[in-house]
Amino acid sequence: MVLDPRELRNGFGRFATGVTVVTCANDLGQPHGATVNAFTAVSLDPALCQVTLSRRSRACTYLDGAPFVVNVLAADQLGTALHFAGRPQKPEPEWAKGTTAPILVGCAATISCHPWRTYDGGDHLIVIGEVDDLEITDAEPLLFFAGQFREFAARPTGVHWNGSIDCPESGWFDATTVFTPLRAHQPAAS
């Protein structure tokens, strides 16, 4: 079955993601970044995360065996996302020195990594980094969904989560809850 690339992109785009800029140093030691929304946590022990970059990205050549940072963009950093996606903005994003590679100022989080593994991902490279340092702020993240940048918004219902029996503030189960044990699995007769 041959899938239409546009339809495939649309299908993948139904998954809401955060927006990151992967930063590293180029061959001259200067800061370089690429906007990436293909980011995920991989493991807690060891602490690993993954970014997936197009093979056409210059960042791919700079990341070969090099430390990098995943800058999780804040909701007010749309200009930063566009800048590193090939649409230069004025003023340019502000850089700072990170523990492993250059970082961007004003992010929701920065995840500093050393290279762990790189895998073939078709027209992309899958880069896994071991997390060395982490900085977290209270900033809301910038989101991407269905080809558009988005921000979190409160549901217009006006009903707090505790209107649901699943509210974590109310507790999932009280001390009087009794669970009926599941019956043992019986293998199917062959």
Superfamily of domain 9-157: Electron Transport, Fmn-binding Protein; Chain A (2.30.110.10)
pLDDT tier for residue 111 given thresholds of 50, 70 and 90 = very high
pLDDT tier for residue 162 given thresholds of 50, 70 and 90 = low
Alpha-carbon span 85 to 71, nearest angstrom: 14
pLDDT tier for residue 169 given thresholds of 50, 70 and 90 = low
Q: Are 79 and 93 in contact (CB under 8 A)?
A: yes
Task: Give the mean model confidence (pLDDT) for residues 142-167.
Answer: 71
Taking 60 as the threshold, does the pLDDT of residue 25 lie above it?
yes
Q: Which residue has the higher pLDDT, 35 or 58?
A: 35
Q: What percent of the chain has pLDDT over 70?
A: 81
